[in-house]
Amino acid sequence: MTATLAQSTGPAHTRIYAYGAARGEVAVPNDDLVGPIDSSDEWIRQRTGIVTRMRAVPETDAIDLATDAAREAIERSGIAPDQIDAVIVATISNPKQTPSVSAIVADRVGANPAAAYDLNAACAGFAYGVAQADALIRAGSAHYAVVIGTEKLSDIVDPTDRSISFLLGDGAGAVVIGPSDTPGIGPTVWGSDGSKADAVGMNHTLTEFRDGESPWPTLRQEGPTVFRWAVWEMVKVARRALEEAGVEASDLAAFVPHQANMRIIDEFAKQLGLPDTVVVGRDIETTGNTSAASIPLATHRLLEEHPELSGGLALQIGFGAGLVFGAQVVVLP
């Protein structure tokens, strides 16, 4: 007789319990960056909407930022750290290729021996992490999960590069996800277009740097290409996320896109036809573009400034390097 394998199952629904945030310690105004790129505070504000960005001191790395954000999310969630059995970190700025940020953070916050892994989906990383945590819990592979987006982009920026240097900041945002009696995380619409991988990403490899063939690798982008893709193609993705969640734009309490550029955010909201009642995340003005951290950081700030949003629906969408994207509708804690 052939034995039958047991297969785990979990709860029907999940939700986000709480958010946590950590930003770099230093506010860097535009005037501090304009010299090497021969620009001005006015030009940066007009092109990006950024007034200042937060950057970490040399002693702080992406792991430290992730730890602080995770601790706040866990404390606010009411879930004991030792009940967390999965830690997922989205980042492109782990100071080491291994070990993972997630394993170190799990230990630091008291979640040892939680399953832990990092994922690299750039600015879409947080949305990817939420999708995976939701699936793991509903499959019975985890009970409670922490999802973190963390970046120290100041380590991989060339201050003389006019395409992206003035955009980037440092920070981390985290959520605790667990079982729910009602649906709290909608279906994720995600994907990529690797054929346009050169539009935004690193300009060199670590092996080229090691062999003396290139300077330290830094981020670069083709601004017009990214702008057009983000506005026109990602609006389609956002609409699909609304459709698959079974809601309309008018049902939303908040819209939290990746904080890439204020012009992109504003055009995005316009193309979606969002009513005036929808609060739009615009954390980029004082935090900068923090890649995988931008959605949870922006949502954390919205909830601090607008506690009445609690219990409402938020559409979040990430998009970035490798032209990777992910979107879902969630219920705000």
Q: Model confidence over 1-44: pLDDT tens digits?
A: 689 999 999 999 999 999 999 999 999 999 999 999 999 999 99
Nearest to 333 by CA among 146, 175, 126, 138: 175
Average pLDDT over residues 158-176: 95
Residues contacting 189, CB < 8 A, separation 6+:
237, 240, 241, 244, 325, 326, 327, 328
CB of 253 closer than 8 Å to CB of 278: yes
| Burial bucket for residue 6 (CB in 10 Å: 0-12, 13-18, 19+) | exposed
> Residue ranges per domain, the chain?
13-180, 189-332
Considering only 94-103, 129-138, 221-230, 252-261, which range has the smallest mean pLDDT?
221-230
Tell me the C-alpha distance between 240 and 222, whole Å.
26
The answer to whether 13-180 and 189-332 have equal CATH topology is yes
Model pLDDT, residue 262:
95
Q: How far is CA 49 from the centre of its chain?
A: 19
pLDDT-derived band of residue 320, with 50, 70 and 90 as boundaries? confident
Q: Identify which has the larger pLDDT, 296 or 222.
A: 296
Q: At what angle do helices 234-245 and 262-272 cross, to 10 degrees?
A: 50
Residues contacting 217, CB < 8 A, separation 6+:
156, 202, 203, 204, 205, 206, 208, 209
Model pLDDT, residue 226:
84
Report the CATH fold assignment for 189-332: Peroxisomal Thiolase; Chain A, domain 1 (3.40.47)
Structure tokens at 190: 């995600």
What CATH number has the domain spanning 13-180?
3.40.47.10
Catalytic residues: 123, 258, 289
Predicted TM-score (pTM) of the model is 0.96
Each residue of 302-315: pLDDT tens digit? Answer: 999 999 999 999 99
Residues contacting 135, CB < 8 A, separation 6+:
none
Tell me the C-alpha distance between 9 and 140, whole Å.
4
Model pLDDT, residue 1:
66
